Chain A
Amino acid sequence: MTIKKYLDFRLLGLTGSMMLIISEFLPWFSGLSLLNIYILTTSVAIEDSFLYLFPLICGIICLVGAIVIIYNMVYKINSVIINFIGLGFFLIFVVEIIPRDLLYIPNAGIGFYFSIIGSILIFFDILNILLIKQE
């Protein structure tokens, strides 16, 4: 594969986690970012407001996982487990938020697409890490 000569696939995780972190600050619904929605829902004491921070937490944890594997290939199982924990936060966010805001998804802002692409990239990063042959 020629592409492998020029591109380190471990960067998938780095890109994915960065996209998830950035998505927190990009518009999701009605031009509001998740951080804005979190602040709004907290001020009116909506119970599950903390869920809106989960993509950011997921991004940060997966970023640590991506850095671990870039730092040293030996720690690939550690990196996968860190990514599992990180993605767990995103899965809970998606399961709770998507069915609730399903009607607004067609009009969702770029933040939504950033987070979905980011999580898919992290998923492929985990697969890639596990398929890399140890030299």
Chain B
Amino acid sequence: MSTGTIYHHLDTLSSLIEQQDNKKYYLSELGLLAYTSLIDNKDNIITPEFSKKEFNSPILKGLMFLTPKTYINYGNKRTYSVMIFTILIALIGSIFCGLNGLFPLFLFFGESLMIFTTVDANIQFLLALFFIGNILLYFLINEGLSRIIYRKKENTLKFLASFAIIFFPLDIYLVLRFILISTGSLDFSYIRVLDNILMILFQVWSLWLLTYNLCINKKLKIENSLIISLLVHYGGFSIILLISI
């Protein structure tokens, strides 16, 4: 390497290194901090090259556009506004879950799970309560898995405060479904196809929000967050299938 190139690199690193009396270069205080931080978070850092290429793809650009980042990655000052937002999401979801007469289980809704022939007000209220219970159960399972598999115990309250945001896409789905039922459109087979496709797309959006939330608040790598999302989602599906049978 030529002397010029070395000086160029030394110049780039000028804020992180300093030359001492013995003419040797050492890490400055900031450089030492940067080094320690890199070593401590080696497992959590997504390599910039990987992120840049991957996140420039249309799918992830679209998903990132649909992610309410300020409500998931928030500071202490915004805790109350985030909590109000999440409570609103939980309430709207529970109301429309009851109105639709759907039984919630994680990110699934079981129509065939209904053991009652008619959906009266009491059962609607019960289903609405199930929706709230489902959010808490889903949180506990995700928190538990990130603790058991990846030993991530931090930010539990922050994770809980923003957890219901994951159900934001499902709220939209429930509202849309309620409109379809109210207008009688759901009786048409092609609308039922659309209903199924919408549910799949909103589920994937919710899964992405869960992944992002785990990534930000539990400090997990995006791959590890996806593994947890995947395990919980397909675990939930297995339970739905067993109950249906």
Contact = CB atoms under 8 A, between A and B. Distances in A.
Contacts, number: 82
Nearest to A92: B196
A18 B50 CA distance: 29
Interface residues of A, number: 31
A91 B60 CA distance: 23
A73 to B, nearest CB: 10
Contact of A92 (B59, B200, B234, B245): B200
Contact of B204 (A50, A85, A126): A85
A127 B208 contact: no
Nearest to A100: B112
Query: Interface SS of chain B: helix, strand, loop or mixed?
Result: helix
A94 B236 CA distance: 14
- Chain B contact residues (Cβ within 8 angstroms of A): what range? 35 or more
B53 A74 contact: yes
- What secondary structure prevails in chain A residues at the interface with B? helix
B201 interface: yes
B223 interface: yes
16 contacts: A75-B53, A75-B57, A78-B60, A80-B226, A80-B230, A81-B59, A84-B233, A85-B200, A88-B199, A88-B200, A88-B203, A92-B196, A92-B200, A95-B241, A96-B112, A99-B244
